[in-house]
Homo-oligomer: A and B are copies of this chain.
Amino acid sequence: MAETKIRDTVVHRKARSGYRWDGVELLPYKEDDRALFKAITRQVLFADPALTGELRYFEVAPGGFSTLERHQHMHAVLILRGRGHCLVGTEVKSLETRDLVTVPALTWHQFRASKGEPLGYLCMVNALRDKPQLPSAQDLVRLEADPAIAEFLRS
């Protein structure tokens, strides 16, 4: 079936198996490789000059995790697939499919898949946003002083 475009916009992009989509590229998680992360991919589902937000899909393989980071912009997350845990601020939360997670400004956060299955999540952000900050050695010492956070970070 031919792709339908209205004023250069592709109207319908079909879901493929394995949480992929027609016309959506599978991207490395970060261009920048200073960051500490493991086994995670990124797909930009919606980014358009007409939209002030972007919707991305991240998938963390079993045992993998996103970068521990913080930034001024907010994350609005819906778990689309699987289960895992997240750290938001000083809170470690157990996550199930379709749970919602809000990461407020300048709040340390990380997402970790369970050992048994991937963790896939949608993340809405502002199109105009600041770059993430990574924790300093001192920030890590502070975070790991909390036994629950230390256990989460080593899991």
Residues of A participating in the B interface, judged by any CB pair closer than 8 Å: 4, 6-7, 9-15, 19, 21, 24, 45-46, 48, 50-55, 73-74, 76, 78-79, 86, 88-89, 91, 93, 95-105, 107, 122, 124, 126-128
Contacts and interface: CB of A to CB of B under 8 A. Distances in A.
Interface SS of chain A? strand
Nearest to A86: B12
A93 B12 contact: yes
A50 B88 CA distance: 17
For this chain, the copies found in one complex come to: 2
A139 B88 CA distance: 49
A12 B6 CA distance: 38
29 contacts: A4-B88, A4-B89, A4-B91, A6-B88, A6-B104, A9-B102, A10-B102, A11-B88, A11-B91, A11-B93, A11-B101, A12-B91, A12-B99, A13-B99, A13-B100, A13-B102, A15-B97, A15-B98, A15-B99, A45-B76, A45-B78, A46-B102, A48-B76, A51-B74, A52-B126, A52-B128, A53-B54, A53-B124, A53-B126
A46 B91 contact: no
Contacts of A53: 51-54, 76, 124, 126
B96 A14 contact: yes
